Amino acid sequence: MRFAIVESGGKQYRAVEGSTIDVDRLAYEVGKAFDFDRVLLMADGDAVMVGTPAVEGIKVSATVVDHVKGPKVVSFKYRPKKRIRVKGGHRHQYTRLMIDFIGKPGEERKVEKKAAAKKAPKAEQQAEAPKEAEVSTPKAKKPAAKKSTKKQAE
């Protein structure tokens, strides 16, 4: 598995090929591709390249997937015995990025598929087998509801 530590907006993020990361809002349109300016570390299995401060000759390409809002952050100021209650807050703006490629420019690599994608077809085949069995068996009739008889007072 190949991953890199990249810097965007003064923060560092762990970028893994084929996965998404949320960074501070960037001025790119959805669907646009771009490269990160600073790559601080790149690891491919046991081989690790650490930059001082950045690794030269390594490119991390990403595509803008969406612009999203973060969770609500509530700010509440309270002063007892003075009837001061101030409630405010905000939602931070993020850009969701899909990491397409990590490596040297011109290098040809395919993104490794995760093991979870391979297991999914087996689960679908097992799920289909019971459905076929249910269709072939006739439905059992439900017993009729018992009627309660009330004793009449004489």
Residue 148 in domain: no
Question: pLDDT for 76-108, tens place per residue?
Answer: 999 999 999 999 999 999 999 999 999 988 877
Domain membership of residue 154 (yes or no) is no
Q: How many CA atoms lie within 13 A of 3 on its CB side?
A: 12
Q: Indicate whether 141 belongs to any domain.
A: no
Residue 19: domain span: 2-131
pTM of the entire predicted model? 0.64
Answer whether residue 85 is part of any domain. Answer: yes
Number of domain units in the chain: 1
